[in-house]
């Protein structure tokens, strides 16, 4: 899922980061070491993060690590393909004690993730439901959510009202609005250069009341409604109202800010740039339902802090995670709101955050609370994801018949589910 | 070994034990060749052998597998529509790039060979793109030239003729993405092969042309057909072979032009991209990935041998 990395690096932030890294090296004086003298216990923990796009995150997490008194924590900042590097590290080549990742059932089945129920016990009810659900397998929590990210439909208020349109609350209204707003060099809607394969796969299912996987671990998209929902995405792709081939993809607000599109599906992280470009002239919406039995939804994703179950210092690692992500609420607030724009996973913090108190940002917080759905649940593995995306690409781009495509994909996914839950 | 032969003769006259250690031929040989051999063994030979070993095991999520499955990974790969499709993708790609690259670089070399002035400058200019990385070039192609909006370079050109903008890399019908895939490789590599042809042209003896003219051969096509082309035989064979192998190994421009966020769509997926995702991506299936790699290596070896047979590459000319 495109949501895998909650802080995508746009080209701009990436360039900024590379410029900054030189300064950061000088400032830190040395690589990733915390620079603290050895602690009394002599325990050393290695904590992996992927490379965040925002300035200052690395210095922040190193500062948090240095404050922990129970052990020497060495932060490893990991640029490049984090998924591959972490996966191969967990398989034996120097696994970290603590790391951030998504909880996936195949990792749990392989015994790599330490259960963290006792770590989160005191504050379990305070965490946003969808964020916690994305780290829960068979009722056990394996990751403590660090930062909640979501995606919304951003639209230009003035363009819609000039065209006499209401903000669309159904898929049909959205398609109409996209067609009406298309003209000249502007398209009506942008959902990604792939036509929505990456962003809309789970949302189209929610819009007809379905999901990737049912509660009893059966494939959730083998229904005729799923074929309808994905068939409508093909209609959108062919409508000539969809922006395709924009220089930057959906996760970057550039296409919207430059006026290439009147509406764009993008991330919460993009709102500050949009506010700067069109102050007061934009609104946010969830992905609308297709049928009455379906649901409006926003996807919720959250990296969680996890402990490597086979590590020698797993108890220290758990204590560190509890201290960092459960006890120190001030650090969670700093991490979420000090550098980029994310929702703190604990309601008590999110409700009191000024940056999220009004305007479209407040709407987003409300959507996450009321309509938020886990976009990549633990039972949905990367292998299943690529099977469905292949089918979806053929449906949307090639115009393949949705029913046989989905039936074939469902078989592959069910095999995988049976292997993991059988 | 040639290099060590003269060294062996010199110090050989003295009693061996008394000479400096480095003078001993075997020692000198290993001092120079040793590091390279060790590197080759460690980073190429061992992984290749390990990969062959893995291809006979069920190696999902591990590189130290225990379940022997015999040839199952091979039969899985050879019956997998996705893998066969990737071979088809390669075939289309090779069918486009190899002839175009051959004709393009030969034409450039012929023109440049005749250039009376600024030849060194022009040579450098055409060769320069070869120094650019595939990733950087792919990004330029994707973001500036073949983006889907009106101000993209390709769409600007279309606009002059009143045509609507095309989303080059997003649509599959018609498969416009091939245009970007093929042109980026041509731009990057044509100068390199041009240099090879240029070197070949400079070795064609002038007397051959003079003799032909004396015999009444017309300049132009017939001289080219009967003198230049046959004289470039060895060079042509080398260029064709290098091109074909490079097409098999295509990865960067495909991955960077069509992949997004660690996902690659099910079309235009060449073998290496498919194997990358099988072994290292979502699949983490090193057994099948290795089996596919072995099949691919065998195919390349076969194609090379077949080409050598037909074109006589590697044989010395009489």
Nearest CB to B261 within list A2, A185, A397? A2
How distant is the alpha carbon of residue B136 from its chain centre? 18
* CA separation for the pair A239, B203 (Å, rounded): 59
Contact of A106 with chain B, judged by CB distance below 8 Å, is answered with yes
Percent of chain B with pLDDT over 70: 90
Partner B, chain A 233-262, Cβ-Cβ below 8 Å: 243-247, 249, 260
* Choice between B163 and B8, residue whose per-residue pLDDT is larger: B163
Contacts of B64 in chain A (CB under 8 A): 92
Q: By CA distance, what is A382's nearest residue in B?
A: B282
- Domain C-terminal end among A374, A396, A413: A374
Stronger pLDDT, A2 or A117, i.e. the higher one: A117
pLDDT at position B145 is 93
Residue A368: domain span: 2-149+300-374
Amino acid A25: pLDDT: 38
Other CB atoms within 10 Å distance of the CB of residue A52: 25
In this predicted structure, what is the pLDDT of residue A42?
A: 62
Interface check for B152 against chain A (CB to CB < 8 A): the answer is yes
Q: What is the pLDDT of residue A9?
A: 43
Residues in chain A: 422
Asked whether residue A133 falls in the same domain as residue A273, the answer is no
Q: Residues of B with CB below 8 A from A197's CB?
A: 263, 265
Residues A252 and A284 grouped into a single domain = yes
Q: What is the mean pLDDT of residues B61-84?
A: 86
Q: Looking at A73-82, B161-170, B302-311, which range is the least confident one?
A: B302-311
User: Where residue B193 falls among pLDDT bands split at 50, 70, 90?
Assistant: very high
In this complex, the residue of A91, A195, A382 whose CB is nearest that of residue B170 is A195
Neighbours of A172 (CB within 10 A): 14
Buried b (16+ CB within 10 A) or exposed e, A229-260: bbbbbbebbeeebbbbbbbbbbbbbbbbbbeb
- Which chain B residues have a beta carbon less than 8 Å from that of A244? 148, 167, 170-171
Average pLDDT for A218-233? 95
Q: Does residue B164 sit at the A interface (CB-CB below 8 Å)?
A: no
A287 φ/ψ angles, rounded to the nearest 5 degrees = -70, 125
Chain A and chain B share a number of CB contacts under 8 A equal to 92
Q: How confident is the model at residue A2 (pLDDT cuts 50, 70, 90)?
A: very low
Digit-coded pLDDT (tens) for B109-135: 999 988 888 888 999 999 999 999 999
The count of residues in chain B is 318
Q: Which residues of A touch B147 (CB under 8 A)?
A: 245-247
Distance CA A253, CA A270 (A): 6
For A419, phi then psi, to 5°, come to: -65, -40
Are A261 and A215 part of one and the same domain?
yes
Specify the higher pLDDT residue, B308 or A329.
Answer: A329
CA of B146 vs chain A CAs: smallest distance (Å): 8
Which structure tokens are listed for A349? 């913090």
pLDDT of residue B195: 93
Residue A184 corresponds to which tokens in the numbers above? 């000249």
CB spacing of A383 vs B283 below 8 angstroms: yes
**Distance (Å) from the alpha carbon of A398 to chain B's nearest alpha carbon:** 6
Distance CA(A403)–CA(A226), nearest Å, equals 8
For chain A, the straight-line distance linking the first and the last C-alpha, in angstroms and rounded, comes to 25
Chain A residue with minimum CA distance to B167: A245
Distance CA B247, CA B240 (A): 11
Q: Residue B314: pLDDT band by 50, 70, 90 thresholds?
A: low
pLDDT in tens, A304-318: 999 999 888 999 999
| A172 and A274 belong to one structural domain | yes
Per-residue confidence (pLDDT) for residue A40, from 0 to 100: 45
Partner B contacted by A382 (CB < 8 A): yes
Claim to verify: residue A293 and residue A408 sit in the same structural domain: yes
State the average pLDDT over residues A52-64: 90
- Cα distance from B169 to chain A (closest Cα, Å)? 6
Interface check for A4 against chain B (CB to CB < 8 A): the answer is: yes
Q: Which of the residue ranges A5-9, A79-83, A200-204, B40-44 has the most confident prediction, judged by mean pLDDT?
A: A200-204
The residue with tokens 């000088």 is A26
Q: Are residues A360 and A408 in the same domain?
A: no
Tell me if B266 and A249 make a contact (CB, 8 A cut-off).
no
pLDDT band for A94, please (50, 70, 90 cuts): confident
Q: Do A195 and B147 touch (CB under 8 A)?
A: no
Residues A243 and A335 grouped into a single domain: no
pLDDT (tens digit per residue) in A241-279:
999 999 989 999 999 999 999 999 999 989 989 999 999
Q: Of A39-48, A115-124, A411-420, B270-279, which range is least confident?
A: A39-48
pLDDT at B82: 87
Residue B147 has pLDDT above 70, yes or no: yes
Write the DSSP string, A281-318: -EEEEPBPBSSTTS--BEEEEEEEEEEBTT-TTHHHHH
* Alpha-carbon span A244 to B167, nearest angstrom: 6
Inter-chain touch B282–A382, beta carbons under 8 Å? yes
Q: pLDDT at residue A16 above 50? A: no
Determine the average pLDDT of the residues in A374-381. Answer: 91
Contact assignment for A247 to B143 by CB distance below 8 Å: yes
From CA B80, how far away is CA B103, in angstroms rounded? Answer: 35
What CATH number is given to the structural domain containing A312?
3.40.190.10
3-class SS letters over chain B: CCCHHHHHHHHHCCCHHHCCHHHCHHHHHHHHHHHHHHHHHHHHHHHHHHHHHHCCECCECCCCCCCECCCHHHHHHHHCHHHHHHHHHHHHHHHHHHHHHHHHHHHHHHHHHHCCCCHHHHHHHHHHHHHCCHHHHHHHHHHHHCCCCCCCHHHHHHHHCCCCCCCCCCCCCCCCHHHHHHHHHHHHHHHHHHHHHHHHHHCCCHHHHHHHHHCCCCCCHHHHHHHHHHHCHHHHHHHHHHHHHHHHCCCHHHHHHHCECCECCCCCCCHHHHHHHHHCCCCCEHHHHHHHHHHHHHHHHHHHHHHHHHHCCCCCCC
Contact of A194 with chain B, judged by CB distance below 8 Å, is answered with yes
- A91 and A197, same domain (yes or no): no
Question: Is A260's CB within 8 Å of B283's CB?
Answer: no
What pLDDT score was predicted for residue A21?
41
Reported ipTM: 0.77
Task: Using the predicted structure, report yes or no on whether residue A93 has a pLDDT greater than 90.
Answer: no
For the entire predicted model, the pTM comes to 0.81
Distances in Å between the Cα of B290 and the Cα atoms of B43, B61, B76, B88, B125 are 16, 13, 12, 20, 40
Residue from the list A192, A247, A398 with its beta carbon closest to the beta carbon of B147: A247
Do A166 and A289 fall into the same domain? yes
Assess B170–A contact: CB distance below 8 Å, yes or no.
yes
What are the tokens at A347? 């309601």
Average pLDDT value for residue range B229-256: 90
Alpha carbons A160 and B126: distance in angstroms, whole number: 51
Which of A92, A385, A390 lies at the smallest CB-CB distance from B266?
A390
From CA B226, how far away is CA B202, in angstroms rounded? 17
Residue A244 to residue B171, Cβ atoms within 8 A: yes
Chain B interface test: which of A189, A267, A386 (most B C-beta within 10 Å): A386
Are A233 and A204 a contacting pair, CB within 8 Å? yes
Do A52 and A115 share a structural domain? Answer: yes
Lowest mean pLDDT among A10-24, A214-228, A378-392, B294-308: A10-24
In this prediction, residues A395-410 reach a mean pLDDT of 95
The whole-number pLDDT of residue A43 equals 83
List the single residue in B with minimal CA-CA distance to A10.
Answer: B261
Same domain? A101 vs A184: no
Q: B180 pLDDT exceeds 90?
A: yes
- Which residue in chain B has the smallest CA separation from A110? B61
- What integer pLDDT is reported at residue A411 of this predicted model? 94
**Across the interface, which of B63, B170, B282 has its CB nearest the CB of A385?**
B282
CA gap B182, A341 in Å, rounded: 41
Q: How many domains does chain A fold into?
A: 2
Please tell me the predicted confidence (pLDDT) of residue B7: 42
What pLDDT is stored for residue B248 in this prediction? 85
- CB < 8 Å to B168, chain A: 245
Q: Which of A344-358, B2-16, B109-123, B185-199 has the least mean pLDDT?
A: B2-16
Find chain A residues with C-beta within 8 A of B166's C-beta: 245
- Residue A324 pLDDT: 95
Angle between helices B72-79 and B81-114 (to 10 degrees): 70
In this prediction, residue A420 carries a pLDDT of: 87
Q: Is the pLDDT of residue B102 over 70?
A: yes
B16-54 pLDDT, tens per residue? 555 666 677 788 888 888 999 999 999 889 989 999 999
Could you report the per-residue pLDDT of A150-184, keeping only the tens digit for each? 999 999 999 999 999 999 999 999 999 999 999 98
Nearest to B223 by CA among B234, B213, B236: B213
Residue B130 gets the label, from left (phi > 0), alpha (psi -120 to 50) or beta, of alpha
- Please state, for a pLDDT cut of 70, what percent of chain A lies above it: 90
Q: What pLDDT, on the 0 to 100 scale, is given for residue A386?
A: 87
Domain architecture of chain B: domains with CATH: 73-311 (1.10.3720.10)
**Closest Cα in chain A, distance from residue B298 (Å):** 28
**Statement to judge: residues A80 and A186 lie in one domain:** no
């Amino acid at each position: 899922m495109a949501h895998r990395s909650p802080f995508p690096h746009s080209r701009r932030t990436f360039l900024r980061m590379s410029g900054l890294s030189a300064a950061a090296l000088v400032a830190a004086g040395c690589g990733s070491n915390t620079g603290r003298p050895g602690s009394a216990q002599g325990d050393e923990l290695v904590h992996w993060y992927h490379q965040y796009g925002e300035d200052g995150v690395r210095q922040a997490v190193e500062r948090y690590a240095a404050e922990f008194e129970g052990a020497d924590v060495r932060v490893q900042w990991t640029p490049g393909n984090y998924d591959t590097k972490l996966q191969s590290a967990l398989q034996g080549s120097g696994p970290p004690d603590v790391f951030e990742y998504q909880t996936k059932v195949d990792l749990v089945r392989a015994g790599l993730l330490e259960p963290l129920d006792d770590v989160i016990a005191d504050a379990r009810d305070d965490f946003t439901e969808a964020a916690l659900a994305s780290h829960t397998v068979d009722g056990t929590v394996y990751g403590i959510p660090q930062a909640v990210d979501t995606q919304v439909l951003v639209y230009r208020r003035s363009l819609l009202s000039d065209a006499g349109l209401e903000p669309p609350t159904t898929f049909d209204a959205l398609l109409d609005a996209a067609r009406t707003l298309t003209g000249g060099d502007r398209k009506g809607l942008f959902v990604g250069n792939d036509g929505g394969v990456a962003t809309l796969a789970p949302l189209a299912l929610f819009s007809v009341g379905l999901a990737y996987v049912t509660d009893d671990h059966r494939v959730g998209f083998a229904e005729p409604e799923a074929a309808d929902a994905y068939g409508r995405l093909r209609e959108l792709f062919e409508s000539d109202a969809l922006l395709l081939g924009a220089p930057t993809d959906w996760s970057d607000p550039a296409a919207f800010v430059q006026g290439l599109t009147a509406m764009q599906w993008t991330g919460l992280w993009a709102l500050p740039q949009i506010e700067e470009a069109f102050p007061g002239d934009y609104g946010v919406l969830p992905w609308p339902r297709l049928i009455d039995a379906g649901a409006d939804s926003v996807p919720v994703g959250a990296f969680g802090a996890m402990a490597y179950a086979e590590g020698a210092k797993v108890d220290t690692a758990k204590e560190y995670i509890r201290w960092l992500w459960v006890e120190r609420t001030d650090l969670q607030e700093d991490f979420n709101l000090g550098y980029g724009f994310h929702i703190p996973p604990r309601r008590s913090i999110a409700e009191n955050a000024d940056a999220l108190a009004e305007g479209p940002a407040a709407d987003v917080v409300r959507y996450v609370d009321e309509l938020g759905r886990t976009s990549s649940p633990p039972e949905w593995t990367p292998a299943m994801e690529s099977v469905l995306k292949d089918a979806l690409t053929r449906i949307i781009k090639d115009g393949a018949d949705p029913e046989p495509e989905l039936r074939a994909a469902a078989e592959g996914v069910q095999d995988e589910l049976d292997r993991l839950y059988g | 070994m040639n290099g060590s032969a003269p060294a062996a003769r010199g110090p050989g006259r003295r009693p061996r034990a008394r000479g400096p250690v480095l003078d001993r031929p075997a020692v000198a040989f290993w001092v120079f060749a040793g590091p390279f051999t060790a590197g080759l063994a460690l980073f190429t030979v061992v992984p290749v052998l390990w990969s062959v070993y893995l291809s006979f095991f069920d190696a999902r999520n591990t590189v130290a597998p225990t379940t022997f499955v015999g040839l199952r990974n091979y039969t899985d790969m050879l019956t997998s529509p996705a893998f066969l499709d990737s071979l088809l993708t390669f075939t289309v790609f090779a069918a486009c790039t190899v002839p175009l690259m051959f004709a393009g670089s030969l034409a450039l070399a012929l023109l440049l060979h005749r250039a009376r002035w600024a030849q060194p400058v022009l040579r450098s200019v055409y060769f320069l793109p070869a120094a650019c990385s595939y990733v950087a070039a792919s990004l330029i192609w994707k973001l500036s030239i073949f983006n889907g909006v009106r101000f993209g370079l390709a769409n600007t050109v279309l606009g002059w003729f009143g045509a609507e903008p095309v989303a080059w890399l997003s649509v599959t019908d018609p498969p416009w993405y091939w245009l970007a895939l093929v042109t980026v490789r041509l731009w990057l590599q044509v100068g390199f092969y041009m240099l090879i042809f240029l070197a070949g042209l400079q070795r064609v003896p002038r007397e051959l042309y003079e003799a032909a003219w004396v015999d009444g051969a017309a300049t132009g096509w017939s001289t080219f057909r009967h003198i230049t082309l046959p004289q470039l035989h060895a060079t042509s064979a080398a260029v064709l072979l290098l091109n074909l192998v490079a097409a098999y190994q295509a990865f960067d421009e495909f991955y960077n032009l069509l992949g997004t966020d660690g996902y690659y769509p099910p079309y235009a997926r060449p073998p290496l991209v498919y194997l990358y995702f099988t072994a290292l991506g979502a699949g983490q299936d090193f057994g099948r990935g290795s089996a596919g790699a072995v099949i691919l290596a065998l195919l390349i070896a076969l194609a090379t041998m077949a080409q050598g047979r037909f074109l006589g590459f590697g044989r010395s000319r009489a």
